[in-house]
């Protein structure tokens, strides 16, 4: 391993590991009550939290209060998840000497994996940061967490951590470290057993490289990039599509992982989209690094358009207006257009994510031409279909199921519900593991590891896999699921 020792990281991880040993042994009902207490304390301190976040992110009171409420809801959801008990996937196979080969008594369940390292995201200072989905799902699983704060909101991170710790039985269950130099030592600390990350493709690859250098490689769950294709079919309403697209594209200055970056449209949709986008305005991006990356990406597309290669500018939003914080850091929406053939020839470059309020409108003549091109797109978190006739989408659905983790009908991908059924993942590069989600009840599975008990003494078995099932968790017994 090449990383140097970082005293702050070492202290945080070792404290978390010690606290985690007690937390792991805490009954699920008690952990659930702690999660609900965290939700309460976040809402109680909302008046203190949002102004600090606004000073660092300029996201505004309404957005930030809503995000605090969402974060609290995540804690309440996971209280329900661990009370239900299904996440441990308790399985019991009683012995069967007549089976071929003879079967012993085997019981399996999932246990907490250990100390989880979490890298905060820039675009959600609460919901994907110190108290975000990675943190709450790991705590719910029975794991302690050490968060690497995002440089875009360090004071928000400190305040959030202090608020959450008020409700934890041991404040060391939530460690917090700062600075770029803390990343490598955190990932490579021998007591860290898994890593969660939301950020850029380059950042995710760097973390994976650090993990590969460990003597004991550990799971890495990264959300890295997504173009979120939208397919508009001929029966859709051009006006509704145009207005919905413009709103989704510019929401949060386009700084959402579910931003619609590619829109495939038939004839008749370009002009309404042009008008809708031209009526939008830009805004201040979260960090100078994000702004510079957006400008580079848009600049590459603009150069391609100027070269006469078939890509052209369809619409540009107006300059940002506002208070003194709006200035050199602000950007404007940019939408380009190209025929399907030109777009296909420009892959994979034209299929890369441009993080911010930019998109490419791809014009097609016949929807039967779309599957061959859609199959070539990189993996995405979402894929959307707009139509008033489901029969139009018959041949497209199987294609989209292979390239995205969430399919949306007549809606827009920005906005991710926090619920049991949600899947927020997708094929590479959307996430490092398409089978796992970073939002919703199933996200807890990332921080669990299975153990099977063969012919184990009944008195030593965990309660979840005992025959009397004292906790009342769902069990699959001899192949049949019992509630």
Rounded Cα distance between 294 and 288, Å, is: 10
Angle (deg, nearest 10), helices 46-57 and 61-84? 120
Peptide bond into 429 cis (omega under 30): yes
The yes-or-no answer on residue 354 being catalytic is no
What is the phi/psi pair of residue 257, to 5°?
-70, -15
Rounded Cα distance between 302 and 421, Å, is: 40
What is the phi/psi pair of residue 27, to 5°?
-55, 150
Cβ-based neighbours of 307, under 8 Å, separated by 6 or more: none
The CA–CA distances, whole Å, from 477 to 82, 86, 228, 454 equal 20, 14, 41, 15
What is the phi/psi pair of residue 296, to 5°?
-65, -45
The yes-or-no answer on residue 36 being catalytic is no
- Which residue out of 257, 353, 354, 464 is catalytically annotated? 257
The answer to whether 329 and 288 are in contact (CB under 8 A) is yes
CA angle 83, 86, 89 (to 5 degrees): 140
Residue 301, class by beta-carbon neighbours within 10 Å (0-12 exposed, 13-18 middle, 19+ buried)? buried
Rounded Cα distance between 433 and 98, Å, is: 39
Peptide bond into 348 cis (omega under 30): yes
Which tokens hold the place of 305?
């358009």
The CA–CA distances, whole Å, from 42 to 65, 80, 122 equal 10, 18, 19
Which tokens hold the place of 248?
């989704």
- Which residue out of 56, 67, 143, 223 is catalytically annotated? 223
The CA–CA distances, whole Å, from 218 to 12, 188, 343, 433, 452 equal 19, 9, 38, 13, 20
Which tokens hold the place of 119?
């890298």
Rounded Cα distance between 197 and 183, Å, is: 11
Closest CA to 126 of 186, 66, 168: 66
Residues noted as catalytic: 223, 257
């Amino acid at each position: 391993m090449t990383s140097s020792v970082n005293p702050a990281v070492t202290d945080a991880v070792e404290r978390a590991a010690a606290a985690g040993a007690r937390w792991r042994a805490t009954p699920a009902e008690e952990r659930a009550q702690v999660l609900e207490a965290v939700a309460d304390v976040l809402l109680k301190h909302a008046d203190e939290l949002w102004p600090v976040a606004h000073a660092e992110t300029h996201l505004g009171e309404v957005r930030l209060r809503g995000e605090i409420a969402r974060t609290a809801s995540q804690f309440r959801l996971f209280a329900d998840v661990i009370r239900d008990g299904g996440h441990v996937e308790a399985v019991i196979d009683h012995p069967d000497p007549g089976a071929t080969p003879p079967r012993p008594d085997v019981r399996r369940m999932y246990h907490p994996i250990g100390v989880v390292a979490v890298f905060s995201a820039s675009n959600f200072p609460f919901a994907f940061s110190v108290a975000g989905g990675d943190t709450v799902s790991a705590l719910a699983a029975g794991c302690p967490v050490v968060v690497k704060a995002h440089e875009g909101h360090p004071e928000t991170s400190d305040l959030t951590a202090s608020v959450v710790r008020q409700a934890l039985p041991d404040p060391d269950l939530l460690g917090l470290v700062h600075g770029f130099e803390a990343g490598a030592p955190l990932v490579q600390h021998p007591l860290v057993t898994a890593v969660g990350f939301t950020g850029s493709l380059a950042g995710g690859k760097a973390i994976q490289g650090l993990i590969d250098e460990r003597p004991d490689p550990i799971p890495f769950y990264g959300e890295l990039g997504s173009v979120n294709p939208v397919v508009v079919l001929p029966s859709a309403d051009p006006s509704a599509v145009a207005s919905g697209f413009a709103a989704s594209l510019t929401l949060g200055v386009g700084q959402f992982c579910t931003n619609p970056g590619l829109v495939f449209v038939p004839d008749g949709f370009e002009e309404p989209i042009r008008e809708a986008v031209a009526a939008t305005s830009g805004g201040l991006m979260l960090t100078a690094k994000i702004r510079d990356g957006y400008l580079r990406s848009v600049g590459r597309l603009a150069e391609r358009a100027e070269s006469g290669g078939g890509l052209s500018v369809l619409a540009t939003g107006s300059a940002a207006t506002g208070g003194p914080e709006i200035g050199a850091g602000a950007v404007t929406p940019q939408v380009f257009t190209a025929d399907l053939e030109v777009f296909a020839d420009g892959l994979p470059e034209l299929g890369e994510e441009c993080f911010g309020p930019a998109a490419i409108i791809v014009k097609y003549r016949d929807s039967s031409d779309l599957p061959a091109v859609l199959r070539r797109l990189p993996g995405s978190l979402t894929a959307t279909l707009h139509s008033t006739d489901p029969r139009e989408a018959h041949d497209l659905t199987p294609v989209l199921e292979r390239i995205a983790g969430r399919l949306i009908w007549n809606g827009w991908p920005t906005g991710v519900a926090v619920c049991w059924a949600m899947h927020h993942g997708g094929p590479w590069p959307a996430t490092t593991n398409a089978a796992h989600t970073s939002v919703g009840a199933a996200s807890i599975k990332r921080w669990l590891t299975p153990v099977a008990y063969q012919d184990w003494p009944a008195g030593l078995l965990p309660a979840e896999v005992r025959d009397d099932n004292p906790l009342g968790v769902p069990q699959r017994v001899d192949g049949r699921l019992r509630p």
